[in-house]
Amino acid sequence: MKQLWCALSLMTGSLLFTSSASADTVSSGALLQQMNQASQSLNYELAFISINKQGIESLRYRHARLDDRPLAQLLQMDGPRREVVQRGSEISYFEPGLEPFTLNGDYIVDSLPSIVYTDFKRLTPYYDFISVGRTRIADRLCEVIRVVARDGTRYSYIVWMDTETKLPLRVDLLDRDGETLEQFRVISFTVNGQVSGTMQNLAKASLPPLLSLPGSENASFTWAPTWLPQGFSEVSSSRRPLPTVDVPIESRLYSDGLFSFSVNISRAGNVSGDQLLRTGRRTVSTEVRNKTEITIVGELPPQTAKRIADSIKFRTAQ
């Protein structure tokens, strides 16, 4: 009887732990979803530093909503003036020595970390959202949440989110060994209606013309990966000629809603060979098989990129 009681106690404890862990994931995921909404709905200004293996940048980001559409500005604070402006779905780039241009987009990709704009409901089946506790960043009380893939095949995040405004005040991107690859860290910030007033001029400014991108040929490919990390699906595919070389390249783009990568297939050249390179979050894995060059480019650990490349299977064209 005593053994039965112990077994029931252990089972009950296990169920309670599982339920608690599941509830924690849901609660933390809801907080992260609030961060997504706050970042796109509030009027605010952030002064922050961006740290990676290449160095440290000091930047200022302003965001407001005017006439129910986003208006944002990213400004590099040191060195030559580099500015990115978003107005609605148009994002304009002003770089020293280059003609200004405009692209279509939902947000400025080289500003806040991409995790800020993620739909966390989509990630729930494949990621754990783990509450680590609270601490202070920029003299503000923050919730600390880890975002970790359940299959261990990609990078992870730690997010420090202001408890009051739900804005991100620090975001670390970690590799599989726990080493920091990138860090976004707010030094000071303001949240109020005055931010929209300071951006009125941007709302009326003349922006450079929309850049026309070269077209791509839709095609049926004779290859596909037979293994992908959990949650990844194909977003698009295309066939384009390589610049300065009369050789087409076939590409498939994949995303899980947080990270993305492309698989690129082309005819191998005389100097092609196997290579594996990681620069920060980005990995380039190339292997040559039967005179075909297979290249994986994206936000993946090198081991995962190589496994995807090894899984590519070709079929005979009909």
pLDDT digits (tens, 9 = 90+) for 213-226: 666 556 789 999 99
Q: Which of 155, 153, 105, 156 is nearest to 129 (CA)?
A: 156
Smallest CA-to-CA distance from 60 within 44, 47, 73 is with: 47
Q: Kindly state whether residues 159 and 95 are assigned to the same domain.
A: yes
Residue 218 confidence (pLDDT) = 62
pLDDT band at 12, cuts 50/70/90? very low
Q: What per-residue confidence (pLDDT) applies to 17?
A: 33
Cβ atoms of 182 and 52 closer than 8 Å: yes
Look-up of token digits 């991409």: 114
pLDDT single digits (tens) 293-317: 999 999 999 999 999 999 999 987 5
162-186 mean pLDDT: 96
CATH number for 164 = 2.50.20.10
Confidence of residue 21 (pLDDT cuts 50, 70, 90): very low
174 and 41 together in one domain: yes
Domain annotation covers residue 4: no
pLDDT above 90: percentage of residues in the chain: 69
CA-CA-CA-CA torsion for 144, 149, 155, 156, nearest 10 degrees?
A: 0
Among the three residues 142, 176, 204, which one is the final residue of a domain in this structure?
204
pLDDT at 194: 84
Of the residues 155, 174, 204, the one at which a domain ends: 204
Are 181 and 251 members of one domain? no
Residue 179 has pLDDT above 50, yes or no: yes
Q: Return the higher-pLDDT residue of 20 and 197.
A: 197
User: H-helix or E-strand containing 18?
Assistant: helix 2-41
- Neighbouring residues of 278: CB distance < 8 A, sequence distance ≥ 6: 284, 301, 302
Mean pLDDT of 71-91: 94
pLDDT of residue 199: 85
CB within 8 A of 50, min separation 6: which ones?
A: 56, 57, 59, 182, 183, 184
Q: Please tell me the distance from the alpha carbon of residue 290 to that of residue 264, in angstroms, as a whole number.
A: 15
User: What pLDDT is attached to residue 243?
Assistant: 66
**So what's the pLDDT on residue 2?**
38
Task: Indicate whether 67 and 23 sit together in one domain.
Answer: yes
- Both structure tokens of 80: 């030559």
Q: Are residues 59 and 197 in the same domain?
A: yes
- Considering the chain, what is the average pLDDT of its residues? 87
CB 230 within 8 A of CB 149: yes
Domain that holds residue 67: 15-204
Asked if residue 269 has pLDDT above 80, the reply is no
Please state the domain count of the chain: 2
213 part of a folded domain:
no
Look up residue 233 and give its two tokens.
């699906």
Same domain membership, residue 181 and residue 271? no
- pLDDT at 3 > cutoff 50: no
Per-residue pLDDT, averaged over 90-96, amounts to 93
Q: Are residues 196 and 240 in the same domain?
A: no
